[in-house]
Structure 1
Amino acid sequence: MTNEVLSEVAWRAGWKLGGTVASSPIWASRPKTRGLVLDVIRSARSISRVELAAATGLTGATISEVVRELIGDDLVVEAGRGAPTGGKPRTMVQLNPLARYSVGVQLERNTCVIVVIDLAGRQVARTSFQGVATMPPERALPLVAAQVDALLATAAVDRDRVLGVGLVSYGPQDRRAGVLLTPQPTEEWLDHPVALRLAEALGLPVLLDNDAAAAAIGEYWMGTVDPRSTYGCIYMATGIGGGVVVAGEVYRGSSSNSVEIGHISIDVNGDECPCGNVGCLENYAGPSALVRQALATPGLGRRLALDPTATDVLTEFARIAAAANTGDAGARGLVEQSARYLGHAAVTMACLFDLEAIVLAGPSFAVAGSIYQTMIQQEVDRRLFARRAHQVRIVPSVNGSDAAAIGGAVLVLRSELTLGHPHPQDRARAAGSGEAW
């Protein structure tokens, strides 16, 4: 990891190199090595020092010293003896899941999901609520902060062990500044410092990231895909987004607004999209598009009890998906048409990045996933340029409708693994009144 990357990540964490991080010889000397060892322990669940050396290529002496440091920091514990191998049984080590926690907040256009996960990635608490779309950010963000505080209290999570908050939302966005670059859900949200304001309200570091990118990296953490693979994620909530992960790292592009497949053009003569493009995929295959199409189909909107004045697109879309799953021909036709469009996008994504798998994540796939998975797989199998070289598997998310929120929390945990940050109490002091990550 270059000094430039380290500097940027440390800046987002509310520190400066040469300050809290660099002043500690443990944390400054080999954060990448510590991160590598900790990540291998996490993936293996239980592993000996000898196996760690073989898996990482590090010397036995280095492994022993790093593991001793990790145990001293309460991140790793010894966990009994391994199976006999002809000599002295090896002492196994594993993560201490209760050593650290992180919070993931998914801020959708009209829904907010909050999760708390432990160091092993296990979800320990969850809540959700609606209404943020009707509020300006000055009212919505304090409400989100109050919900986070209540969830941590209800789950009896020691706040001193909370690393921070991963706030994930739609794009475009400026991750470094912690602002959304879109006037959604209202103009008041454009350029509002959402990460900084939430950090101030919570007294915790806040990392802003794209919901689809977060969902993608969450699948890596939870073991859906081979950690060495190159895979994609299509994320569908109210809108459609995408993410690509290469060997455990999210592909970012020049401004971390990459793989926005919802805004690739599938009709050069199509209607103009608010994003500035024309004929965007989202306007043909997204949940809002399907609700509009259902309402425009004679008799279908009434049969499905759709509300033409509703602002909760996900609930209205769920009615269409449920009807499609039970055999309603009109609803099924709309979902299958959406799936074919998404199959087109999946082929494009796989061709651009030579993917091994594509994960379908998000609340909209959670209610109609089987139809989408089958049809997207068919499109990819038939049309992919590299189909004779290898298959691209279309798989459902293990995190379901909460994929983005869980991914946001995972991104915070990964900062622990990558940089080897000190104890959260030190980070809170470094962050002052609550600095954006």
Structure 2
Amino acid sequence: MATSPIWASRSKTRGLVLDLIRSARTISRIELAEATGLTGATISEVVRELMGNGLVVEAGRGMSTGGKPRTLVRLNPVARYSVGVQLERNTCVIVVVDLAGRPVTRTAVPGVASMPPQRALPLVAAQVDALLATAGVDRDKVLGVGLVSYGPQDRRAGVQLTPQPTDEWLDHPIAQRLAGHLGLPVLLDNDAAAAAIGEYWMGAVDSRSTYGCIYMASGIGGGVVVAGEIYRGSSSNSVEIGHISIAADGDECTCGNVGCLENYAGPSAVVQQARALPGLAGRLALDPADADLLTGFAQIAAAANSGDPDARSLIERSARYLGSAAVTMAGLFDVDAIVLAGPSFAVAGPIYRAVVQREVDRRTFARRAHGVRVALSVNGSDAAAIGGAVLVLQSELILGRG
């Protein structure tokens, strides 16, 4: 297992400097001092230690501004790695990323979450081991594993607080058990929160901004990032945008609420609506008994892109509901941007982005003060898994939490 650099003293300063180097790609010591307000001597000492730990390397010289050209520094991407594991209801995505957050390799294993955890977690661990070996990644450089899934969760205890997809997963110590199989630390977190922080690490949003993420896989979740840190709330079960009530007299949701957004706009709802249209269901050969909702949803999304009027109507209806959720998110958190992430946006993402942007432009409370940009995730379908790996990098190196 990799050991983090020793952050016993001035951990916040070192994390701040490392994060500035990461976000700038290349930067000089003088620019670091100007950006942080720290003295040149302090910056030189911190950079020297980061270089000693192999996290930072020199990157040549910048353009001259009249004097001696400044020496630039940058991250050393191969200095550390982390693993992201996304447990979805029908599949498990595993990625390995380098220190810059760039994916090195990935794999997907179907059906893992439908197994009891006693069977599923050893299988996940074996896949992680095989992926690291195939990629030739030195395990001594692996900081840990970010295990992300839907909520609610007890993040500190590393357990799911939901009996989904089966009762055996409720209160099972999944983080602890997976860590035992791998011999690596495992951090449990929410998939939507992970997807949100992945955008920050990859430089897709301004590092000083407040932005939101709407994440859609088989369900709908949300996350908000403020100046590079996830808004956690009191128990890290915040911004569950899929479970805001949009119909006071709606059906009861498995979460205990009624009229939840997810039950009107999520992939399950769209597939059920499509199955109720004989013409569309016949054209797409939708199987009423098929439990793989993401595949059925992708078929409907592809048909919408191809001009099928019934499919297009269903996708746009879902998008309008999500637009209302985006307006709610903007009203609550006054965000600069909203990112749409997750596998369900992989096919029909442009339709969703256009509709959600229109709703936000038209209805957001602070629209006269500032605009809200709606964008598709730079991390595509693997946004949550990549974000899980990034959470490990951030926790270990930037925040110094270990």
- Give the TM-score range, shorter chain: over 0.9
2:86–2:92 CA contact under 8 A, matched in 1? yes
* Partners of 1:150 and 1:296 in 2: CA distance: 43
Q: Which amino acid aligns with 1:105?
A: V
Paired letter, 1:60: G
- Name the amino acid aligned to 2:152: P
5 Å-filtered alignment, 1:18-417, equals: 27-417=7-397
The aligned amino acid for 2:317 is: Q
In structure 2, C-alpha distance between the alignment counterparts of 1:133 and 1:198, rounded to whole Å: 14
Q: Partners of 2:228 and 2:244 in 1: how far apart?
A: 25
Instruction: After superposition, give the CA deviation of every residue in 1:264-302 in whole Å (9 maximum; x if it has no partner).
Output: 000000000000000000000000011111111122212
Aligned residues of 2:92 and 2:113 also touching (Cα < 8 A): no
**Alpha-carbon separation, structure 2, partners of 1:410 and 1:330:** 39
- In structure 1, give the amino acid aligned to 2:368: R
User: Which amino acid is 1:418 matched to?
Assistant: I
**Letter aligned with residue 166 of structure 1:** G
Contact 1:171/1:257 (<8 A) preserved: yes
- How many Å separate the matches in 2 of 1:299 and 1:154? 47
1:203-255 CA-partner distances (Å, limit 9, x unpaired): 00000000000000000111111111110000000000000011111000000
Identity level (%): 81
Residues 150-197 of structure 1: CA deviation (Å, up to 9, x unaligned)? 000010000000000000000000000000000001011000001001
Distance 1:134 1:232 in 2: 30
Asked if 2 retains the 8 angstrom alpha-carbon contact of 1:117 and 1:124, the reply is yes
Between the aligned partners of 1:48 and 1:219, the Cα distance in structure 2 is: 24
The gaps in structure 2 that reach 5 residues or longer are none
Question: Distance in 1 between the 2:364 and 2:136 partners?
Answer: 49
Residues 44-65 of structure 1, C-alpha deviation per residue, up to 9 Å, x if partnerless?
A: 1111111110111110010011
- Compute the displacement of 1:27 (Å): 2.0
- Work out the CA distance in 2 between the residues paired with 1:154 and 1:281: 41
Determine if contact 2:341/2:381 at 8 Å carries over to the other structure: yes
Q: Which amino acid aligns with 2:140?
A: D
Letter in 2 for 1:176: R
Q: CA separation in 1, counterparts of 2:127 and 2:157?
A: 24
Distance 1:379 1:419, change over 3 A: closer
One-letter amino acid matched to 1:126: R
C-alpha contact 1:76 1:93 (8 A) present in aligned 2 = yes
Number of residue-to-residue matches in the alignment = 402
- Residue matched to 1:434: none
**Structure 2 partner of 1:17:** none
What is residue 425 of structure 1 aligned with on the other side? none
User: Is the contact between residue 31 and residue 419 of structure 1 (CA under 8 Å) also seen in structure 2?
Assistant: yes
CA deviation map 1:319-368 (0-9, x unaligned): 00000100111111110110111111110110000111100000001111
Paired residue type of 1:96: N
Uncovered stretches (5+) of structure 1, i.e. residues with no partner: 1-12, 15-19, 422-436
SS in 2 for 1:92: strand
Paired AA for residue 262 in structure 2: E
- Partners in 1 of 2:202 and 2:9 — Cα distance? 29
Across the aligned residues of Structure 1 and Structure 2, the Cα RMSD in angstroms comes to: 1.5
Q: Comparing 265-274 with 46-55, which one deviates more in the overlay?
A: 46-55
Structure 1 distance, partners of 2:364, 2:73, is: 43
Once the two structures are superposed, residues 373-426 of structure 1 have per-residue CA deviations (whole angstroms, 9 ceiling, x without a partner) of 1111111111111111111111110001000000000000102332447xxxxx
What TM-score results when the alignment is normalised by the length of structure 1?
0.90
Distance 1:287 1:69 in 2: 49
Counterpart contact for 1:36–1:417, Cα < 8 Å: no
Amino acid at match of 1:265: S
Question: Whole-Å Cα distance in 2 between the matches of residues 137 and 274 of structure 1?
Answer: 21
Relative contact order (C-alpha < 8 Å, sep 6+): which is higher? 1
